[in-house]
Amino acid sequence: MFLFFSTLSAEGWFIVLVVALLLGMAKTGVHGAGMLSVPLLAIAFGGKISSGMMLPMLLVADVFGVFYYHRHASFQQLKILFPGAALGVAAGSWAGSYIDDHVFRTIMAATIFISLAIMIWMELGGKEKIPDNIYFGRLAGFLGGFTSMIGNLAGTVMAVYFLSMRLSKNNFIGTTAWFFMVMNWFKVPFHVWHWHTIKSDSWGLALVLTPVILLGAFAGIELVKKMSDQTYRWFIVAMTLVAALVMVFR
């Protein structure tokens, strides 16, 4: 752990501090902040490595999100999503073993851009054409699990799904918090024993950054309180656009 800390450059430390702050904000409602943190870490450390590096930080941040918003979750939606999500994680773990880092980052960029296009289409009237049934939910769960494993990018996919389900601001945040807490813990064995991308360094870094994650969580709570449901929906779209631009101009 200490070897990793000693070899991390000043720029590297700046990036992980910003990512920790953004992850804390993301888990308490500033949903797009998490989308922005993914390309930042991928640019600095590589797609696959950053995926394992970020997961312990996400687990810490998940605790704050679930603690504050757990009462607002739609457990009916979660029951629909979890079976497909578990299959998606397993599929992502298998696929990730056969692709190099360049392809990994290309998939990450494509996921963000496709999700962004769908979000904008929905907000301009397309959401009425999105199916509202269990099969669509199962598919969304699978895609969420797959993209969660491939670069921790399920935030973009699940944002599309939850926006299409017309969840209110608090229901959106609470359901998202529970979904990702369960999924992130489910992913740990795959990262530890299959990809070998989570080491003791990763857990140590998450522990050191916990105060920064907590600061971001409180900042996220205060920011979301000031937004209406409609403003919040467009805020998610805007943050996804920023994440997409970061990937393009990396």
- pTM value is 0.82
State which amino acid sits at residue 54: M
pLDDT confidence of residue 142:
94
pLDDT in tens, 182-212: 999 999 999 888 888 888 888 888 999 999 9
State which amino acid sits at residue 1: M
Which H or E run contains 124?
A: none
Assess contact for 41 and 50: CB atoms under 8 A: yes
pLDDT confidence of residue 229:
82
pLDDT in tens, 88-111: 999 989 988 787 767 766 777 777
Q: What is the mean pLDDT of residues 144-165?
A: 82
pLDDT band at residue 1 using 50, 70 and 90 as cut-offs: very low
Look at the block and give the residue holding tokens 């064995």: 189
pLDDT confidence of residue 84:
95
pLDDT in tens, 41-69: 877 776 667 778 889 999 999 998 899 88
- Cα 242 to its chain centre, rounded Å, is 15
Number of domains comprising the chain: 1
Q: Report the greatest alpha carbon distance in the chain.
A: 53
Domain of residue 142 covers: 2-248
Q: What is the mean pLDDT of residues 27-38?
A: 78
Choose between 140 and 51: higher pLDDT.
140
Residues with Cβ within 8 Å of residue 11, at least 6 apart in sequence: 44
